[in-house]
Amino acid sequence: MNGYNAYAAAMNNTEDPRSTEYRLLGSVTGALIRANTAEASLQDRLNALLWNQQVWEAFLVDLSDEDNALPQKLRASLTNLSLWIIKETDALMDNGDDLEAMILINRNIMEGLRPSMSAAAE
C-alpha cells in the first residue's frame, strides 16, 4: 500500500483527522529518529526517508483538494513545506546528512496538530 492509500485509509477511520495526522507523523518521526542513529543501516535510513516523503506527498494531495477547509494562507505554507520536504528527501538520500531538520519539522507540525487536553478527555 503506498503512502497516499495508507493515509486515505486512515482518514476513513472514525478518528478525528487531526488525530490521525498527529499519530501518523508520530510514527514516521519515530522511524526518522531511529534511522538517524549510528546503529541504523542504510536500508533503515532509506525506508524512513521514503516513508516520510510519502506522508508529505499525501498531505500535498490533500492540500491541493479544492474542498480542503484550511485557510488559504496556511494551505499555501504547508504546500511549500511539502514541496521542500519532497525535494530535501532526495538530497538526504544522496548526501547522508543527518535527519534532524526533517525530525524537527515533523515535531513542529505535530505540535500544531496536538489534540487539546479537553478533547482528549472526551
101, part of any domain: yes
What span, in angstroms and rounded, lies between the C-alpha atoms of 43 and 86? 18
**pLDDT per residue over 35-86, tens digit each?**
999 999 999 999 999 999 999 999 999 999 999 999 999 999 999 999 999 9
* Cα–Cα distances in angstroms (integers) from residue 4 to residues 73, 95, 111, 118, in the given order: 23, 26, 22, 30
32, part of any domain: yes
111, part of any domain: yes
Domain that holds residue 42: 3-115
Residue with cell 506527498: 57
**Sorting pLDDT into bands at 50, 70 and 90, what band is 16?**
confident
**Sorting pLDDT into bands at 50, 70 and 90, what band is 101?**
very high
What pLDDT score was predicted for residue 117?
Answer: 39
Residue with cell 506522508: 55
Residue with cell 505540535: 111
pTM of the model: 0.80
What pLDDT score was predicted for residue 70?
Answer: 92
What span, in angstroms and rounded, lies between the C-alpha atoms of 4 and 55? 7
Domain count, the chain: 1
What pLDDT score was predicted for residue 99?
Answer: 96
* Cα–Cα distances in angstroms (integers) from residue 9 to residues 13, 43, 75, 98, 106, in the given order: 7, 26, 22, 31, 21
What pLDDT score was predicted for residue 122?
Answer: 45
75, part of any domain: yes
What span, in angstroms and rounded, lies between the C-alpha atoms of 47 and 53? 10
What pLDDT score was predicted for residue 49?
Answer: 97
Q: Using alpha carbons only, what angle is made at residue 3 by residues 87 and 49, rounded to the nearest 5 degrees?
A: 45
121, part of any domain: no
80, part of any domain: yes
What pLDDT score was predicted for residue 2?
Answer: 55
122, part of any domain: no
What size, in residues, is the chain? 122
The residue ranking higher by pLDDT, 17 or 46, is 46
107, part of any domain: yes
What pLDDT score was predicted for residue 44?
Answer: 95
